[in-house]
Amino acid sequence: MKSTLIHIVLIIAAILIGGAIAGHMHEEQNKQMPYKSLENTTPIGGFHKFASDIDWMLVIQYMGGLKSVSKENVDEVIKRFEKIVSYDPNFESAYEIGAMSFSVENPEKAVEFLERACNNPQLKNNWKLPFYAGFILTHSGKDDPEKVKKAIGFYEMAIKRSPTPEMYVVNSYLRARAKAMGLNNDKLAMLKILFGEWKKNAGMREIETTSIIPDLNQKILKAAQEARREYPDDKELIEFSKKVMQEVFKDQHICTYCLSIYAPGDKFCSCCGQSVQVFGTCQKCGTVLKAGFCHKCGTKAPAVLVQAPSVQEGMEPPPVAKKVAKPVPAKKAAK
């Protein structure tokens, strides 16, 4: 009886001493690594990463036994992933996989879960976290302007975080902005967004800023071509696309009908067959210039080839340069 009492006293003493040591280690860990901002205040002796790894394996086993995440089990799924990140707030895979696993049943919680990760300074280089948040918002709140606006912010964050943004990330950002405009013509909305981005950067060239949208000029040309092809009778779109072409591509030669770039010497667009304004030819013989002098007649090319406006629909094509008649020899002329 006496030995049993001693054992009980030793067990209690060990628990008290262990708890005190664990609490002290927990406080010291927070002092040395304040960035972790551990949500779980339960002292576990600094073994938070170990605990999170154990729970990660358990949640994988648990998820493997489910047919799907449904209303009956979504709360349990959220609880398990919350426990993992409470031990290790920098567990990127837990945020990514966890949010996407319960995003269908509880999109609001999924976005809140990802937003918490986005605000973690230790995960500031992860572009997938804000992209997933924007993706969930876009698909769960298509008709909610506030959700679309918030999704745009997440998409923009994803683009800025990525050194080379994926095309689907950029396109998701542009589509969300186009939807936020509320225009009936989605192609016109897209073109206006791209042109606005170009104007913003064109006006800030002095401070050498660049757009967050890669290959912006290429996207503008493609958007204008698609818009004109799908809405050939939309007067507002036609006028706006002409304005865009004149400002963005003022140094290039583009067919006004199909908005395709054409080459020096072309009299007709190779894409649509419409007449275009000829450029880059010798003023004397009409040969396409290759350098500073015509390689056929030796005529000096203009110092600066000024682009002439493309031929508008309904106008006559420009006159073709006439061939210069060869001089007749004196003997043949006498005959």
pLDDT at 202: 73
- Confidence band for 155, pLDDT divided at 50, 70 and 90: very high
130, 106 in Cβ contact below 8 A? no
Q: 3-state DSSP call for residue 139?
A: helix
Query: Per-residue pLDDT averaged across 294-306, rounded?
Result: 70
pLDDT at 121: 93
Average pLDDT, the chain: 79
Give the burial string for 98-124 (b: 16+ CB within 10 Å, else e).
bbebbbebbbebbbebbbbbbebeebe
Domain 16-252 in CATH 1.25.40? The answer is yes
pLDDT at 115: 96
36: Cα separation from own chain's centroid: 30
Q: What CA–CA distances, in Å, run from 293 to 13, 263, 289? A: 100, 18, 7
Query: What's this model's pTM, rounded to 2 decimal places?
Result: 0.69
pLDDT at 183: 85
Q: 3-state DSSP call for residue 293?
A: strand
pLDDT digits (tens, 9 = 90+) for 205-224: 544 456 788 888 889 989 88
Instruction: Kindly list the domain boundaries of the chain, sorted by start residue.
Output: 16-252, 253-312
